[in-house]
Chain A
């Protein structure tokens, strides 16, 4: 499954994620987080989830970076250097164990693209077969999001709206 050019991609993902955590300067951490989102978008595209990759590239690498930078500019510049205590012994023991547990659980997941996995036998075939006749929309992702699961998408939109309102109420004093 894993071909030679995907390994550097996953390595870059690990390096940028680790770098964003370890780097001392908050400005550098924000930019590293942006590049992490960009590499993550490439991974989504490699896995075939082009819509998710598009959102990740636009929101993660573009919009979130702008928000983080504006927040940094708006706060006291002396705060941008991070002082972090070294992790305690309990953290060093518990988190690797948790990681091992998750890896053990992940070995039980169905293989990538397995036609007999529960996700591909339940309702997905119905959507794939009937969405064009039902909605005249060639992109199945759009027809599932906006038609079959329209109420979910509406509530997601409410969440975004609430986020904007909350920011305005908290940060804008007179505008």
Chain B
């Protein structure tokens, strides 16, 4: 179990830094089509922001509740990604062929662009949740006793 960090410098920096990290993660996620970045990196940065809040404010602080709730959406990222693929099949094409997304009034290239954005969001959700989940697994209270006693 992680307890809150007792240094005032770390706490103050955490208050300031975590929102900036989250905004930067969203920027990297949605800017991935125009520059370096994308779903994977954006997801890792979003997850890192939540990990920072857990490391600085501890497991039970109200600021870490978002990170705790995030664990409930384990698998939603995969669902988004595969769901986009399924929508393409419903549209009459191959799995993950975004040109078959059924959106009236959009040309093929724009549909594929939209498909890229949606699947990137799926990857980002999956990666962020996994990162937070691994940190919670690694810092669970009963690891130490269990690994020593058997």
Residues of A within 8 A of B (CB): 50-51, 53-55, 58-59, 62-63, 66-67, 70-71, 73-76, 133-139, 141-143, 145-147, 150-151, 153-154, 157-158, 160-161, 163-165, 167-168, 170-175
Known: A54-B36, A58-B45, A136-B110. 11 other contacts (CB 8 A): A55-B40, A70-B139, A76-B144, A141-B36, A154-B81, A154-B96, A157-B126, A161-B75, A161-B130, A171-B138, A172-B136
Q: Residue A150 contacts which of B96, B134, B147 (CB distance < 8 angstroms)?
A: B96
* A76 and B35 contact, CB distance less than 8 A: no
Interface size class, chain B:
35 or more
Q: Residue A63 contacts which of B32, B44, B96 (CB distance < 8 angstroms)?
A: B44
Q: Which residue on chain A has the smallest CB distance to residue B36?
A: A50
* A142 and B138 contact, CB distance less than 8 A: no
Q: Given A51-B37, A54-B41, A75 and B144 touching (CB < 8 A)? A: yes
Given the complex of chains A and B, what is the CA–CA distance between A167 and B55 in angstroms? 19
* A154 and B82 contact, CB distance less than 8 A: yes
* B74 and A134 contact, CB distance less than 8 A: no
* B112 and A135 contact, CB distance less than 8 A: yes
* B119 and A71 contact, CB distance less than 8 A: no
Task: Please report which residues of chain B, range 76-100, place their CB below 8 angstroms from some CB of chain A when the two chains form the complex.
Answer: 77-78, 81-82, 85, 95-96, 98
**Any chain A CB within 8 A of the CB of B64?**
no
- Tell me the minimal C-beta distance from A161 to chain B in angstroms: 5
Q: Interface majority SS on A: helix, strand, loop or mixed?
A: helix
Given the complex of chains A and B, what is the CA–CA distance between A73 and B112 in angstroms? 46
Residues in chain A near residue B137, CB distance under 8 A: 167-168, 170-172
7 A-B pairs closest in CB distance: A164-B130, A171-B137, A50-B36, A70-B138, A136-B113, A135-B112, A150-B96
* B47 and A67 contact, CB distance less than 8 A: no
* A66 and B51 contact, CB distance less than 8 A: yes
Task: Please report which residues of chain B, range 113-134, place their CB below 8 angstroms from some CB of chain A when the two chains form the complex.
Answer: 113, 115-116, 119-120, 122-123, 126-127, 129-131, 133-134
Q: Residue A76 contacts which of B78, B98, B148 (CB distance < 8 angstroms)?
A: B148
* B116 and A146 contact, CB distance less than 8 A: yes
Q: Which residue on chain A has the smallest CB distance to residue B119?
A: A146
Q: Given A58-B41, A75-B144, A160 and B32 touching (CB < 8 A)? A: no
**Any chain A CB within 8 A of the CB of B33?**
yes
* B135 and A70 contact, CB distance less than 8 A: yes
Q: Which residue on chain B has the smallest CB distance to residue A53?
A: B36
* A139 and B112 contact, CB distance less than 8 A: no
Residues in chain B near residue A171, CB distance under 8 A: 137-138, 140, 143
* A164 and B134 contact, CB distance less than 8 A: yes
Residues in chain A near residue B75, CB distance under 8 A: 161
Given the complex of chains A and B, what is the CA–CA distance between A171 and B144 in angstroms? 10
Residues in chain A near residue B77, CB distance under 8 A: 157, 161
- Tell me the minimal C-beta distance from A142 to chain B in angstroms: 5
Residue from the set B45, B109, B112 with the largest chain A CB neighbour count within 10 Å: B112
